[in-house]
Amino acid sequence: MPLSNQDLEVRLARRGISRRDFLKLCGAISAVLAVPGVTADRIATALAAAPRTPLIWLEFQDCTGDTESFLRASNPSVADILLELFSLNYHETLMVPAGPLAEKGRLDTVAQYPGQYIAIVEGAIPTGGNGVYCTIGGRSALDIAREVCGKALATIAVGTCATSGGWPKALPNPTGAAGVSVAVPGAPNLINMPGCPMNVVNLASVLVQYQTTKSWPQLDSLRRPVFAYGRPIHDSCPRKERDEVKNYGAADHLAGGCLKSLGCRGPETRANCHQVLWNDQTNWCVGAGHQCVGCTEADFWDRFDPFYRNGG
């Protein structure tokens, strides 16, 4: 697809997205990023003039949860807007072509836009047996990931499986599942966005920051964006000042008591779930009465087992 981005508002209107809806999303992203000088108006102006950056979205050992998170955003659909701002040249779940034609879209993008496209990786990458446990079109996931990520402008690992191996890496890990940082060492501008799944608002914020400022967000020691993973969930949890709950369904549980005694991992988990929320900003796990299971943390599947305690 061409990289020009003319008549953005016209294309958005064809998808039923008004300028007001577009500005609403720009405002939400500006609030999440909290970058000085990056206002909703500046984001909107920059996006309207920016060329469409090609995207290659790879899926490996995963449940497609991050793709589902991407598609299920609404009012307006973040996916609809991103698909007008970026050129999604390859995505096995979403693309129309199949077989050799599907592979051609990926291969052509790598060949024609080296160092200009963004690679998004969903799912763990099996490294055992030289990658034999996952093959696509006769090539191993390991081989494809190293080719695509190695030549990308940046690689965004979405979901805990892609960032640190997730549940495919859970012991005994027979496939040698690993995150991008291990499977593709030295991938340019690697950004890790863990979560089971990741929140599409955070992904949109990273992509929009690049389109707006041509810069990537500040990262922590695990290469996670600080704006999304800079503070423990417990620090801003509305339940933290309440007495600890001893049993599910009890009066203190229903009244919004702290879930730490039931195994909540909020004090050990860094994420902004309480800020961006889920299901069209309706709620989040702890708000719905379930403890945090620490899904944005590396090896959470093994480290935080069992997920339930006492009254669970």
Q: Report pLDDT digits (tens) over 190-223.
A: 999 999 999 998 999 999 999 888 999 999 999 9
Mean local confidence (pLDDT), 252-259: 94
pLDDT at residue 7 tops 90: no
Q: Which CATH number do you get for residue 145?
A: 3.40.50.700
**Are 212 and 271 in the same domain?**
no
Has residue 5 got a pLDDT over 70? no
For residues 248 and 205, membership in a common domain is answered with no
Residue 83 has pLDDT above 90, yes or no: no
Return the pLDDT at 191.
98
**What pLDDT is recorded for position 126?**
98
Q: Which of 186, 205, 225 is the last residue of a domain?
A: 225
Shared-domain flag, residues 42 and 170: yes
- Average pLDDT rounded to a whole number, residues 161-166: 97
Q: Mind listing the pLDDT tens digit for each residue in 276-300? A: 998 878 899 999 999 999 999 999 9
**Phi–psi pair at 199, nearest 5 degrees:** -90, 125
Quick one: 241 and 266 in the same domain? yes
Task: Provide the whole-model pTM.
Answer: 0.91
Which of 179-183, 245-249, 308-312 has the highest mean predicted lDDT (pLDDT)? 179-183
The string of pLDDT tens digits covering residues 168-185 is: 999 999 999 999 999 999
Better-scored residue on pLDDT, 2 or 209: 209
Same domain, 221 and 235: no
Same domain, 75 and 221: yes
What phi and psi values does residue 178 have, to the nearest 5 degrees?
A: -150, 160
Q: Is residue 125 part of a domain?
A: yes
Looking at the fold, whether 47 and 132 belong to one and the same domain comes out as: yes
Does one domain contain both 125 and 41? yes
Rg (CA), the chain: 20
Do 12 and 98 lie in one domain? The reply is yes
pLDDT at 279: 81
Same domain (yes/no): 187, 276: no
The answer, yes or no, to whether the previous bond of 232 is cis (omega within 30 of 0) is no
Of 193, 225, 257, the last residue of a domain is 225
**With bands split at pLDDT 50, 70 and 90, how would you rate the model's confidence at 92?**
very high
What is the average pLDDT across 11-21? 84
User: Domain containing 126: what range?
Assistant: 8-225
Q: Are 301 and 166 in contact (CB under 8 A)?
A: yes
Report residue 253's pLDDT band, with 50, 70 and 90 as the boundaries. very high
- Check whether residue 180 and residue 311 sit in a common domain: no
Interval 125-136 mean pLDDT: 95
Q: Last residue of some domain: 201, 225, 249?
A: 225
Which three-class secondary structure string do you get for the chain?
CCCCCCCHHHHHHHCCCCHHHHHHHHHHHHHHHCCCCCCHHHHHHHHHHCCCEEEEEEECECCCHHHHHHHHCCCCCHHHHHHHHEEEEEECCCCCCCCHHHHHHHHHHHHHCCCCCEEEEECEEECHHHHCCCEECCEEHHHHHHHHHHCCCEEEEECHHHHHCCHHHCCCCCCCEECHHHHCCCCCCEEEECCCCCCHHHHHHHHHHHHHHCCCCCECCCCCEHHHHCCEHHHHCCCCCCCECCCCCCHHHHCCCECHHHCCCHHHCECCHHHHCECCCCECCCCCCCCCCCCCCCCHHHHCCCCCCCCC
The pLDDT score that the predictor gives to residue 244 is 93
**What is the per-residue pLDDT for 74?**
61
Which pLDDT belongs to residue 176?
A: 97
Domain count for the chain:
2
